[in-house]
Amino acid sequence: MEIRFDHTTLGQRVLFGAGAAATNIAAALRDLGASRPLLVGGSHADQVVDEISTELDVAGHIGEVVQHVPAERARAAVALAREVDADAVVAIGGGSATGLAKIVARDTGLPVVAVPTTFSGSEATDIWGMTQDERKTTGTDPRVLPRVVVYDATLTQGLPPDLAAHSGLNALAHAVDSLWAPRADPINGALAGEGMRALVPGLRGLRADAEDLRAHEQVLYGTYLSGVALASAGAGMHHKICHVLGGTFNLPHAQTHAVVLPYVVAYNAPADPDSASRIAEALGTPDAAAGLWDLAREVGAPGSLGELGLTEDDVDLAAELATVAIPGSNPEPVSEEQVATLLRSALRGDDVRR
């Protein structure tokens, strides 16, 4: 079969090592020629913050980070970076800390060193997001791609088990959705496949022992590969639906991804058997959607969108908003009615085998 594609790999350095965050942050800053970092987040990494504050000339520290990057907080962070004359931003935290650092980078051009403490995968993308008047705006900008990512699995060990499960399933959704996203190509597919093969056993390992360091490493490794795949391939049907549920109906980010994913896979699998078998293979099951539905329950994800606060009255508007955003690359054509049916199944938490 002919192979033909146009792929862009985003340039990023990744330093991966358990217990090495402080050393690797210092090395990353040194190699960037930076010596006065603005520190963002860090509330779940006290020891790392202490170590870098002792060793480096930290120009400023924004300790409290709010979800979805409120615009006024973002403006204040940009102003602080300028005021203290920072020459880099170090973000230690989940997608919210990375997200705030990205806005500082977008508006000042400062390089970001991202040190994830969840499995959000934001560190692997050039996508920024900001919220104003309850509306979330997103965009892409090469300046916001963290120049260096420092992964240290001891930092995710403190995640409460449910949060780890939702966040890890969010990472799995990045891999799955990249398979039918607008710029899907064989390189992204290979990254997504390896990402899923690391995430599935890693998530099962975390369920068995929430502090298992090897499992945390596997999930972080899978998170990175999946984030890279999504950053390159773009967002597909799953992300468009979740974006509406989070942005318009204020459903929680990672949990929403965890619930919706099996239904999107059930919808697309018949039209894209190759992707379905890639997902099924990573899950070790014959049926991709059923395997994802079972995995979500096995690792402790919420069972339905109803549990997350969506109501029957919300479904038609959600379907209308999501349908227009779903890319033409989706293997199965979509209509508002079909998206509404999918959402109703997810609202009730129907078994995807039905």
**Residues of this chain that bind ligand NAD (CB under 6 A):** 44, 67-68, 93-97, 99, 117-118, 120-122, 125, 127, 129, 155-156, 158-159, 163, 167, 253-254
What does the alpha-carbon distance between residue 159 and residue 226 come to, in Å, rounded to a whole number?
Answer: 20
Which CB, 226 or 268, lies closer to ligand NAD? 226
Q: How far is the CB of 95 from ligand NAD (least distance, A)?
A: 2
User: Are 257 and 169 a contacting pair, CB within 8 Å?
Assistant: yes
Residue 46 CB burial class (10 angstroms; 0-12, 13-18, ≥19): exposed
Cα-flanking dihedrals φ and ψ of residue 37, to 5°?
-75, 145
| Cα four-point dihedral sign 150, 116, 123, 143 | negative
Residue 260, CB-side half-sphere exposure with 13 Å CA sphere: 33
| Contacts of residue 23, Cβ cutoff 8 Å, sequence gap at least 6 | none
Burial 199-209 (b: 16+ CB within 10 A, else e): bbbbbbbbbee
Cα-flanking dihedrals φ and ψ of residue 150, to 5°?
-110, 110
Residue nearest to ligand NAD (CB): 95
Q: Is 125 helix (H, G, I), strand (E, B) or coil?
A: coil
Which CB, 158 or 186, lies closer to ligand NAD? 158
| Residue 99 structure tokens | 């997200």
Which CB, 24 or 96, lies closer to ligand NAD? 96
Q: How far is the CB of 125 from ligand NAD (least distance, A)?
A: 3
Residue with tokens 């690391």: 198
Which CB, 12 or 96, lies closer to ligand NAD? 96
Which CB, 35 or 43, lies closer to ligand NAD? 43
Which CB, 153 or 184, lies closer to ligand NAD? 153
Which CB, 247 or 291, lies closer to ligand NAD? 247
Q: How far is the CB of 187 from ligand NAD (least distance, A)?
A: 19
Q: How far is the CB of 234 from ligand NAD (least distance, A)?
A: 11
Cα-flanking dihedrals φ and ψ of residue 256, to 5°?
-65, -45
Element (H, E) at 71: helix 71-83
